[in-house]
Structure 1
């Protein structure tokens, strides 16, 4: 059997990775590949905090592969040309990957799928967005999901067979993902699959039910960046929490439902990354001066909770969800600065910046979305 290229994207794990598992089952050598091509992500290439996380996550994935006799091949885009070149260099006759749902990447992936022998899989979601009619309200959407039944089967950790000869790889440092000025030195995160599993084991679902709305308590899972980068799958979390005898995990699992809803909206209404879901809000009289913007970004508004949240963001790359709502509401409803500006700031500064979640959150706060 000829080799298979497994094109890693936001699925940086070995366990419950459908594309990787399918490539191993196919037989023959498996060549894991990551291609850095931010210019192909349209108006939303990864922000600075996301690039920091990606650097460390790629290093962690490569280390786990090397423990199993494999490795991660790094290349720069354009993606289609790079995949073609790798197929020629390795003799591979198929490319497997897990799907992404951002509008620019759906369009890019359709071209690749029509050009190369390939298969794609669902790694990031419990349900595909096209499995349901377009919903604009969460509760009926989630009821429809639960009525269908959540696919909670978790695939075991894959061990990809190595080729006789590896293709060349660029060095991780050459991708220049890390900031030149080390503003991330205060980040207290462990990107990678092992870090995600450690947080899941520590997560107290019962405490989440009572403490999740308290920014002063460590009551949340902090799994959001790991979910975004695919270091853990929603199926793994569902499988771990849904079986709790006291049903204490269901409050958190409902939050996975909101994540599904965010991707559902992004797929069916792709214009909402920059335009309101409710078109009448396109005429909203926003401030033309953006007075207070600099103070908001620096955490110097004079409002203690707003400032604490923005300084937490700058220091840690993360912010408690309830505080995100507070600072977003302050920006759009007190300063009258367009929600798109806040979405862009979050996109650049959050380690868990996710186009679907970010869009849903800002439109919800501004009152112009679902």
Structure 2
């Protein structure tokens, strides 16, 4: 009997073995399986990864290689436009079928459609599966077939669909495919070397499917209680820290959903915290559904009137914000946490983003681009949608006149200055009452804390009251236009 021709599984933002519909289907064929990851930064409209996400990708691919090896498979790495790379490999191996999971984003769908057309002409079958979302965009539409632009009704509709399909187990084994030449991972230069700025990332994270599963288990066991309140406190370990794992697909939204629902069923007293946690997963869905309808979400505000907003060009202020040198401790702590660890606490993200957009009147797209480059969880939906929310020009946006006071935000959510002291150590010896307002300290108090304002720590680069009035005046012009 002639051997079965190999099948190809194309890994994308789904670097895991469990709850991987395409991999499950490929494994059940019994044919030799070629596992492929294509590093594609050349296909039209595909947004290249930022520096922090590139570092994470390298670690995640190594983890996937090890996982596949344990079940008899191997991961082939090739770079280039996905259509040409996959077509060349299919011809080289005489592959019969290509399996992959859908990504409901216009650039990724366009690439997948092109591959399907090209391979169809070669009598090679493509099989795609939902694997990136709890529910596809087609399941939640308005009467005129548009995605919803307000989160609350979206979340209600998503919940009304019921629980998603239960996650799939990982394949027990794979029939190994032919030995093929691929790219050494190091040749992609995903990790920094000169200088090596990734020390904080290595210190903060363990990428990979197994760490993602362990993190989910630990959070639901020890962190979910009190989540509703603790998630807003940067001075506490109150968030799941699953976002970068979810971003690269080391864990699926269905796995998170069902694990959380199990906890709520087993411990009804945690139901409120679980519901809040799942609503954050719902926000990811909401942003992804927005991106499905608005592929240029990172470049175009959803409210056209903001296109004429009088943004300021201030490179010096932008650089101060990027470096955590604004003179506002909660903002600076967040920006330094971001640079060191590749993430920033969600509450502080809102405060830091609001400061850039409203205190400094710098275009939200500048902030979006900086976060895209420095976040390990930089998501094509969440990142621009969240920036537009803060700027007031997006879907379900915060009113532009809601301007976070960074001092009061620090007082409320970091009342003892624990978070600021960690990330802005030059202020660590200030008392709690001054930690979020060092400019109000007396010379004696500053000297006792070892702070030389304007030298060891900057004075505020903008006055809150004056900046607020300037922002409201700018907003008034847009509203009256």
TM-score higher than 0.5: yes
Alignment gaps of 5+ in structure 2: 120-124, 142-146, 396-481
* 1:189-228 equivalent positions in 2, closer than 5 A: 189-203=205-219, 204-228=223-247
Give the whole-Å Cα distance in 1 for the aligned partners of 2:38 and 2:369: 24
Residue-by-residue CA offset, 1:213-252 (whole Å, 9 max, x unaligned): 0011111000000000000001111111112232141110
Match of 2:280 among 251, 255, 277: 255
RMSD between superposed Cα atoms in Å:
1.4
How many pairs were matched up? 370
Measured in 2, the distance between the counterparts of 1:363 and 1:355 equals 13
Aligned residue number for residue 170 of structure 1: 183
Q: CA deviation at 1:105?
A: 2.0
Q: Could you tell me how far apart the structure 2 residues matched to 1:164 and 1:112 are?
A: 21
Q: In the alignment, does 2:198 pair up with 1:184? A: yes
Residues 224-303 of structure 1: matches in 2 within 5 Å?
Answer: 224-243=243-262, 244=264, 245-246=267-268, 247=271, 248-303=273-328
Structure of greater relative contact order (alpha carbons < 8 Å, 6+ residues apart): 1
Distance 2:315 2:188 in 1: 35
Q: What CA distance in whole angstroms lies between the structure 2 residues aligned with 1:303 and 1:43?
A: 36
Q: CA deviation at 1:40?
A: 2.2
Cα distance change on mapping 1:43 and 1:121 into 2, 3 Å: closer
Residue range with higher mean Cα deviation, 70-79 or 8-17:
70-79
- Identify the match of residue 75 of structure 1 among 75, 78, 88: 78
Gaps of 5+ in 1: none
The CA distance in 1 between the partners of 2:229 and 2:353, in whole Å, is: 24
Correspondences of 1:1-370 after superposition (within 5 Å): 1-40=4-43, 42=45, 44-116=47-119, 117-133=125-141, 134-163=147-176, 165-180=178-193, 181-187=195-201, 188-203=204-219, 204-243=223-262, 244=264, 245-246=267-268, 247=271, 248-370=273-395
| CA–CA separation in structure 1 for the residues paired with 2:44 and 2:236 | 36
Aligned equivalents of 2:42, 2:360: Cα separation in 1: 32
| Cα distance in 2, alignment partners of residues 213 and 300 from structure 1 | 23
- Residue 164 of structure 1: CA displacement? 5.5
CA offsets, 1:66-85, max 9 Å, x none?
A: 11111100011121121112
Shift of 1:42: 2.5
TM-score (norm 2): 0.75
- The whole-number CA distance in structure 2 between the counterparts of 1:43 and 1:79 is 11
Q: 1:229 to 1:41 in 2, by over 3 A?
A: farther
Q: Equivalents in 2 of 1:270, 1:67: separation in Å?
A: 38
Bigger drift between 318-327 and 125-134 goes to: 125-134
Cα pair 2:7 2:34 within 8 Å, conserved: yes
Contact 1:30 1:160 in 2 (8 A): no
Larger radius of gyration: 2
1:124-149 CA-partner distances (Å, limit 9, x unpaired): 10011122211000011111111111
What do the CA deviations read for 1:94-148 (whole angstroms, capped 9, x no partner)? 1111112333222222211222221111111001112221100001111111111
- 8 Å CA contact 1:98–1:122 kept in 2: the answer is yes
TM-score of the two chains, using structure 1 as the length reference: 0.97
